[in-house]
Structure 1
Amino acid sequence: MASRAGSTGIDASLYRREGQWCTALVDVSLGTTAAQEAIDALPGHIGKLLGSQQATDTDIAALTQALLPADGHASPVARFVAVNNGEVVLDEVIDGLKVESADVDCGPFPNLVALARARGGQFPYLVAEASRDGGEVGLYHSAVKGVGESRDVTGDRDEAHHARKVPGPYDEPKNQANTEEIWRRNAEELAKQIEELARENHVKLIVLAGDIKARELVAGRLGAACKTITSVLDQHTRTGGADQNAFAAAVQERVDEVLGRDVQELSERVANRSGNGRAELALGFDEVVTALQQAQAGTVLVSQYQDDETLMALDAEPWLTGEDSTDHTELVIGSWPAPEVLLRATALTDAAIRYVPDGVLPEGVGIAALLRWPNTTEPAT
């Protein structure tokens, strides 16, 4: 999906689709005979679980057919599949997630909590490799293995070769100027592709490598918004002897730096809003529910998953209410574990959600929200 659950936001359109949803989070690791046998038995096992939850035959068929092993991925690895009215809407492989037993759910809206937890804080980024005769830019996601989209820029090799020919000493400046003009055009085209991919995918990082002259030309043609998120690697990757493992490690280091800065910034924002009567920060389960009901929560921060709480989901604003509430009874569609209802309300109020490590929230607080506007009265103590 365009906006991954649990990254900087959630695709609210998923919750607006009508009809029944079925989701499954399963282990699809390979590498041993037992793992292969488990994969072979998986469709039948999941089909029975779906049937016990009154899933339709169409939904069962669509979901079980998507339960493919994750070839080329190191164990552990999981697959998350969501089906709506017989259509596979989400099918994502999650590296590094160990699933002890299959988690299967059917209901009027998708249960995206497992995906959101696994994807929390992850982001899209670009890797651009420049050379004098062109280059390549790839779109990646920090939580997904492999390139999502790539674009090549290939200059005219014959033109470049002709430009570099030097018939005599008096022609050398002219030919050098022609060669550099070709390099500039290639750099402009690669910069254009970087700008387009960055804008379309809301990337948070651009890693630029390649020939030193070419990457300088490309960097100089990027707009201000892209320059601020560009990290230049002093590596010429488009040569036969390039160390691709070292290059991949250097890119991952830049990705980890962004993830670390993001958590640090969230921690600082929470600390900064904890004073002055805490007017711009909701702390604890009840305050966060109230903020979501008022569409006041800008970013919901979860460090403990509130699995022991339940909430009522509503089919219109304010989207959720407490189990014991007598308000909005005409809108109630059912009761579910709090993490599912909170995630849905977060999406439907255009807020973001982050699953954060210990230390970001005050001690003893499992959930909080950074508010879009301050409370007019101080929270109860």
Structure 2
Amino acid sequence: MASRAGSTGIDATLYRREGQWCTALVDVSLGTTAAQEAVDALPEKVRKILGSQQASEADILALTEVLVPAAGHASPVARFVAVNNGEVVLDEVISGLQVQTSDIDCGPFPNLVALARARGGQFPYLVAEASKDGGEVRLYHSSVKGSEESRGVTGDPEEAHHARKVPGRYDEPKNQSSTEEIWRRNAEDLAQQIDELARDHRVRLIVLAGDIKARELVASKLGAANKPITSILEQHTRTGGADQRAFAQAVQEKVDEVLGRDLQELSARVSNRSGNGRTDLALGFESVVAALQQAQVETVLVSEYQDDQTLIALNADPWLLSEEAEDHADLVIGSWPAPEVLLRATALTDASIRYVPAGVLPGGVGIAALLRWPQTAETSA
């Protein structure tokens, strides 16, 4: 998760780090005097809770230092922080999440359930704005406010000026050709930046806007793998009078389309695997646990969070056991709420997890799993 892999692939390296973990999910909303006072009191409140859980002084100091108000974010807004051996490994502001009671936790592995739920089906995407003299491309994640990385391309204004400086002669073939060559180079540079970011972060959407000629040039020079995921907005955003609010809304609509398609595809896959004697869908808590023990799960689907269940976490394969199991005693770390242990086992078996709304899973079950290969009669039992 440190790499924002999200619901399409959890970063298992977090669970492989040694030492104690401390996590905190807290409300950092502002807007009222009471809210401001609550945020101001957070560090001391969290310090006491961490102390009662035998957290180290280094972990307490690292975590409480980053519990600052989320200025610039509309309420409600939460902050999730994870610390390992005195190092802040995760620090994320989650807009739209209302936290009634702070969730503070210390243990041998991180409790990332709250963050995983908040991220939902999040994915990385790019927003590129092109102009004839350059452009900019920014990396975003669908459930996190603000860009994570930005790259710009700036053409040489002197070069463009000299190419067009002869009054009344711009339309002459030589001058026009020089100017168009500059535009072409700028478009190639921006397309290269887009391709690099898309490859490095495995983005699933590219939104391209800006000057009509420039965006057409950039789109034509994108790599073959990125053209199908590119959506062009008919907006010239690199002008002084551009409506940035309308642009942000248009980008969000494109993001929502991808999220909606994801959910439809998941629902269809579950429906296609239900019934008809197929055994590549595990239904129910016990079946999902058994499939995770076999590293058989492709995607865990959670509709109800199984908060009333507990599981045993192991420090090696098969990573988890039911409370009734008596084997693998030498691998036992301890017993925790099922959502934490399930999420950890999902990551450590290279599976993914999705938290889905009611109605996606058949038969009223609260948890299911799409499998990499069919269950055997023994596994099903």
Partner of 2:239: 239
The SS at the match of 2:8 is: coil
Q: TM-score, normalised by structure 2?
A: 0.97
| Structure 1 Cα separation of the partners of residues 140 and 170 of structure 2 | 48
The SS at the match of 2:30 is: coil
**Structure 1 letter corresponding to 2:362:** P
Give 1:274 deviation, angstroms: 1.2
**Structure 2 letter corresponding to 1:329:** A
- The aligned length equals 381
Q: Which moved more, 1:269-278 or 1:2-11?
A: 2-11
1:342-357 counterparts in 2 under 5 A?
A: 342-357=342-357
Partner of 1:306: 306
Q: Which runs of 5+ in 2 are unaligned?
A: none
Give 1:166 deviation, angstroms: 4.1
Partner of 2:65: 65
Per-residue CA deviations over 1:331-365 (Å, capped at 9, x if unaligned) read: 11100000000000000001111101112111311
CA separation of 1:240/1:121 partners in 2, compared to 1, >3 Å: closer, same or farther?
A: same
Partner of 1:288: 288
**Structure 2 letter corresponding to 1:343:** L
* Structure 1 ranges of 4+ moved more than 6 A: none
| Structure 2 Cα separation of the partners of residues 42 and 22 of structure 1 | 15
Give 1:3 deviation, angstroms: 3.1
| Structure 2 Cα separation of the partners of residues 363 and 241 of structure 1 | 54
Give 1:329 deviation, angstroms: 1.1
Q: Are 1:124 and 2:129 counterparts?
A: no
CA separation of 1:83/1:322 partners in 2, compared to 1, >3 Å: closer, same or farther?
A: same
**Structure 1 letter corresponding to 2:150:** S
The SS at the match of 2:226 is: helix
| Structure 1 Cα separation of the partners of residues 159 and 271 of structure 2 | 59
CA contact 1:5–1:116 (8 Å) conserved in 2: no
CA separation of 1:88/1:367 partners in 2, compared to 1, >3 Å: closer, same or farther?
A: same
1:244-259 counterparts in 2 under 5 A?
A: 244-259=244-259
| Structure 2 Cα separation of the partners of residues 380 and 348 of structure 1 | 22
Per-residue CA deviations over 1:251-304 (Å, capped at 9, x if unaligned) read: 111111111111111101111111332221111111111111011101111010
Partner of 1:146: 146
CA contact 2:7–2:119 (8 Å) conserved in 1: yes
Q: Which runs of 5+ in 1 are unaligned?
A: none
Q: Are 1:188 and 2:188 counterparts?
A: yes
Give 1:378 deviation, angstroms: 8.6
**Structure 2 letter corresponding to 1:316:** A
**Structure 2 letter corresponding to 1:32:** T
CA separation of 1:380/1:148 partners in 2, compared to 1, >3 Å: closer, same or farther?
A: closer
Per-residue CA deviations over 1:289-334 (Å, capped at 9, x if unaligned) read: 1111011101111010011111000000000011010111111110
Partner of 2:87: 87
CA contact 1:295–1:349 (8 Å) conserved in 2: yes
Per-residue CA deviations over 1:219-271 (Å, capped at 9, x if unaligned) read: 00111211111100000001111111111110111111111111111101111
Give 1:186 deviation, angstroms: 0.5
The SS at the match of 2:225 is: helix
The sequence identity of aligned pairs, in percent, is: 80
1:150-299 counterparts in 2 under 5 A?
A: 150-166=150-166, 172-299=172-299
The SS at the match of 1:220 is: helix
**Structure 2 letter corresponding to 1:314:** L
| Structure 2 Cα separation of the partners of residues 167 and 62 of structure 1 | 63
| Structure 2 Cα separation of the partners of residues 356 and 6 of structure 1 | 14
Q: TM-score, normalised by structure 1?
A: 0.97
Per-residue CA deviations over 1:16-64 (Å, capped at 9, x if unaligned) read: 0011111110000011110111111111111111111111111111111
| Structure 2 Cα separation of the partners of residues 63 and 192 of structure 1 | 39
CA separation of 1:54/1:238 partners in 2, compared to 1, >3 Å: closer, same or farther?
A: same
Partner of 1:327: 327
CA contact 1:126–1:140 (8 Å) conserved in 2: yes
| Structure 1 Cα separation of the partners of residues 28 and 215 of structure 2 | 40
CA contact 1:278–1:379 (8 Å) conserved in 2: no
